[in-house]
A = this chain, B = another copy of it.
Amino acid sequence: MTYIKTPVKGMRDFLPKEMELREYVLNVMKETYENFGFELIGTPTVEHIENLSNNQGGENEKLIFKILKRGEKLENANLADLTTLVDSGLRYDLTVPLARMYANNMQNLNYPFRAFQIGYSYRAERPQKGRYRELMQCDLDILGEKTNLAEIEMIIAVVTFLKKLDFKEFKIKINDRRILKAMVDYAEIPSAMIDEVLISLDKFDKIGKEGVEQELKENGLKETSINKYLTKAMENKTDLKTFCQNLPIDQSVVQNLEEIIENVNENVNATIVFDPTLVRGMGYYTGPIFEIMADNFPSAIGGGGRYDEMIAKFSNKEVPACGFSIGFERLILLLEERAYQIAQPKEKICYLLKKETSAEEKAKVINIANKMRQQNKIVKIVVKSKNYKYQKETLTNDNYQIIEEW
């Protein structure tokens, strides 16, 4: 019997100090989102393999933790085809389970439905700093709201939340999938190539203009199209209206995005900029997309967008949808880097008993301790150990007031 005491690769145990910060942040988030009328929902960690496989691209599918069938179904599986061994997997994100859950419960939910969800997702990526195989995600979604009220309210909610964690300067990048599409049309790139083009453009921050250019060439795009496309993408980014003037696009799309920008500007102290190179990875977005950065940290804390076509895949009923996802693990990392301190408002008391304390005296202390706890104090009773000095030291570091008269 070999027991292994480290956690499985890429996953983590959380010690009390780490949990304290995570819980604190989640509580601030819950309170904030609640005030915006969002309701907490829950979905299982395990999802049908059909739902996971259909929604991820080929590369992403490799990252799914797949669960073996059990009992007879496993015995009857075809060993020559590994896919028959599996009936489910760990969820990869919270959007797919939300869409599934909403499609299944629509008639019992408010319309529009303001939902938020907090839970772990799983990705079998090569572990590296800040990238985990079990990662907490916090999603905010409005289902059934086709106007930009959804985008506006969600962006304001997220900024309000982050402000409560002492972040000060916010930069929000915004774009629209339909503008990305219009840019492709404008550059006379065949529509069928849009996915490849966006995958390259999405790497702009990492590989620069030259890198994108190289990739587009490798994808067989005409040089004139590449030039036209990249020249457009490099234009002065913040002036949305001017940028869209020569694009084949409906003015209502531009107007819609303008309205989002104006409303966010009026309600929260944030720099909101139009960025035609913003892509956001997931293919399911259909309208505005956005990302939020704070206090000059180089990468985004969260992002999201409109995905009006996903619910219909589960229910055959079209339901407009818009979501915003917080990168919780990154957020925690940022807070830990700045040594963010949580106030512990409760008084902490530790009764340190001698080894020889009698049963009667112990009973007395237990009784006193319980009275204190009823006054909402944190109270523990500890028997003195051999290493008494170290014991006292750690208690003091933990802000316990030590009482040792027994």
Considering the complex, which residues of chain A in the window 38-67 have a beta carbon less than 8 Å from any beta carbon of chain B?
39-48, 50-51, 54, 62, 65-67
User: Cβ of A297 < 8 Å from any Cβ of B?
Assistant: no
B373→A35 contact, CB < 8 A? yes
With a cutoff of 8 Å between Cβ atoms, the chain B residues found around residue A13 in the complex are 41-44, 97, 100-101, 104-105
A114 at the interface (CB under 8 A from B): yes
Residues A267 and B44 in contact in the complex (CB < 8 Å), given A62-B70, A65-B67: no
Residue contact A160 to B41, C-beta cutoff 8 Å: no
> How many of these chains are in the complex?
2
Question: Which A residues between 365 and 403 are near B, CB-CB below 8 angstroms?
Answer: 366-367, 370, 373, 376-383, 385, 391, 394-395, 398
Q: Are B45 and A366 in contact (CB under 8 A)?
A: no
Bound-state Cα–Cα, A50 to B3, Å = 6
Contact A45 B380 (CB under 8 A): no
CB distance from A250 to the nearest CB of B (A): 17
What chain B residues lie within 8 Å of A3 (beta carbons)?
A: 50-51, 54, 100, 313-314
Q: Is the interface of A mostly helix, strand, loop or mixed?
A: mixed
In the complex, which residues of chain B have a beta carbon less than 8 angstroms from the beta carbon of A112?
Answer: 382-383
CB of A89 to closest CB in B, whole Å: 9
Q: Which residues of B contact A62 (CB under 8 A)?
A: 70-71
Please pick, from B54, B262, B362, the residue contacting A1 in the complex, using a CB distance under 8 A.
B54
User: Given A41-B16, A111-B391, A366-B267, A314 and B5 touching (CB < 8 A)?
Assistant: yes
Chain B residues within 8 Å of A147, by CB: 383
B362 & A101 in contact (Cβ 8 Å cutoff): no
**Which chain A residues (298-314) contact chain B, with CB distance < 8 Å?**
313-314
Nearest opposing residue in chain B for A398, CB measure: B110
Are B5's CB and A315's CB within 8 A?
yes
Contact between A51 and B4 (Cβ–Cβ < 8 Å)? Answer: yes
State the CA gap A5–B380 with chains docked (Å): 48
Q: With an 8 A cutoff between CB atoms, is A109 at the interface?
A: yes
Interface string of A96-107 (1 = CB under 8 A from B): 010011011100
Chain A interfacial residues counted at CB < 8 A = 110
Whole-angstrom distance between the alpha carbons of A122 and B88 in the complex? 13
Across the two chains, which residue of chain B brings its CB closest to A65?
B67
Contact A45/B134 with A4-B50, A379-B36 known, Cβ cut-off 8 Å: yes
Residues from chain B with Cβ under 8 Å of A370 in the complex? 156, 160, 267
A262 touches which of B79, B363, B381 (Cβ 8 Å): B363
Contacts of A362 in B (CB 8 A): 149, 263
Q: Does A193 contact B (CB under 8 A)?
A: no
Q: Tell whether A19 pairs with B4 under 8 Å between CB atoms, given A11-B46, A385-B111.
A: no
Is residue A8 within 8 Å, beta carbon to beta carbon, of the partner chain?
yes
Q: Does A359 contact B (CB under 8 A)?
A: yes
A149 to B338: give the CA distance in the assembly, Å. 39
Q: Chain A 231-267 against B: per-residue CB contact (8 Å), 1 yes, 0 no?
A: 0000000000000000000000000000100110011
Contact A263 B34 (CB under 8 A): no
Q: Tell me, rounded to whole Å, the shortest Cβ–Cβ distance linking A137 to chain B.
A: 14
Q: Is B267 touching A37 in the complex (CB atoms < 8 A)?
A: no
- B41, B70, B359: the one contacting A259 at CB < 8 Å is B359
- A65: which B residues are within 8 A, CB to CB? 46, 67-68, 70
Question: Can you give 16 A-B contacts (C-beta < 8 A)?
Answer: A4-B50, A12-B44, A13-B42, A13-B100, A14-B42, A16-B41, A16-B109, A23-B30, A23-B40, A46-B90, A67-B90, A79-B79, A110-B395, A147-B383, A149-B362, A149-B383
Query: Nearest 6 pairs between A and B by C-beta?
Result: A37-B380, A14-B42, A16-B39, A11-B44, A13-B101, A35-B373
